[in-house]
Structure 1
Amino acid sequence: MATVTLKGNQIQTNGNLPEVNSKAPNFKLVSGDLSVKSLEDYAGQKLILNIFPSVDTGTCATSVRNFNKEASQLENTKVLCISRDLPFAQSRFCGAEGIENVEMLSDYVNGDFGKNYGLEFTNGPLNGLHSRCIVVINENGEVSYTEQVPEIVDEPNYSEALKAL
């Protein structure tokens, strides 16, 4: 279990992020067209998992915008933005913002991604949502970098995540 804060108030997660150099846990997430995507769909590619509570918050939206800008310059790399928002809300946000270089995926069905990656909040006002995290997965499906942002309202360390590629 990890502890992070929301404006100074402690919140716990159900576990810890996957260990660096470990095999990334598989997932099933829903894309904007309502198809189901799994880790196998991205085999042979580098992945940046940009994980956050909701795209309807300022910091979450900023992280999507920043990774969208960076993603167009990355070779053999996909940026997957993951939250429990409905795919319709994710698509609406991307359309309104002109977001085209990242892929939005939703864990709304049963929250298994958040549980399996150890980042689901288990208490507090964001109970059931995801902690703000970055997980970088190399082309062999192994975790090469993780960050769990200690204060939810803060942005992740973009440069460290990109360096890990």
Structure 2
Amino acid sequence: MATVTLKGTPIETSGELPKVGTKAPDFTLTATDLSSKSLSDFAGNKLVLNIFPSVDTGTCAQSVRQFNQEASELKNTKVLCISHDLPFALNRFCGAEGLNNVISLSDYKEGTFGKSYGVNFITGPLEALHSRSVVVLDENGTVLYTEQVAETVNEPNYKAALEALYA
């Protein structure tokens, strides 16, 4: 279990992020076209997992925008934006914003991604949503970098995440 804050108030998550150097846990998430996507669907690509509570909040929306901008310059890299939002909300947001360099995925069906990556909030007003985190994987699914943002209203360290891709 990890503890982060929401506007200074401690809240706990269901576990810890995967350790750097380990294989990332597999997942099955729902894409905006309602198809299922798993880690193996992205084999051979470097991945940035942008994990957040809800695209309908300012900080989460900004993280999707920022990673969308950064992703346009990345080679052999996919940015997966992952939350509990319904696929319809993710599709609406990206469509309205003209964001097409990220892949939005939802953990709404089973919530197994949040459990296996240790990011589900288990206390506080955001209980059952994901804590703001970034996990970077190499082409073989090995974890290169992780960040669980200590204060939920803050943005992740984009620079550190992207630098991990080429370290």
- TM surpasses 0.5: yes
Which residue of 2 is the match for residue 105 of structure 1?
105
After superposition, the C-alpha distances for 1:106-134 in whole angstroms (9 at most, x for unaligned) are 00001100000001000110000000000
Structure 1 residue 147, shift from structure 2 partner: 0.1
Q: Secondary structure of 1:33's match?
A: coil
Give the Cα separation in 2 of the matches to 1:99 and 1:12. 31
Give the Cα separation in 1 of the matches to 2:6 and 2:91. 26
TM-score normalised over the length of structure 1: 1.00
Which residue of 2 is the match for residue 27 of structure 1?
27
Structure 1 residue 149, shift from structure 2 partner: 0.1
Q: Secondary structure of 1:37's match?
A: strand
1:125 aligns with 2:125: yes
Gaps of 5+ in 1: none
Give the Cα separation in 1 of the matches to 2:119 and 2:32. 22
Q: How many residues get paired?
A: 165
TM-score normalised over the length of structure 2: 0.98
Give the Cα separation in 2 of the matches to 1:15 and 1:118. 4
Structure 1 residue 140, shift from structure 2 partner: 1.2
Give the Cα separation in 2 of the matches to 1:7 and 1:59. 13
Gaps of 5+ in 2: none
Which residue of 2 is the match for residue 9 of structure 1?
9
Which residue of 2 is the match for residue 138 of structure 1?
138
After superposition, the C-alpha distances for 1:11-65 in whole angstroms (9 at most, x for unaligned) are 0001000000000000000001000000000001000000000000000000000
Give the Cα separation in 2 of the matches to 1:60 and 1:163. 21
Aligned-residue RMSD, C-alpha: 0.3
Correspondence list, 1:1-165, <5 A: 1-165=1-165
Q: Secondary structure of 2:140's match?
A: coil
Give the Cα separation in 2 of the matches to 1:120 and 1:59. 18
* Residue identity (%): 68
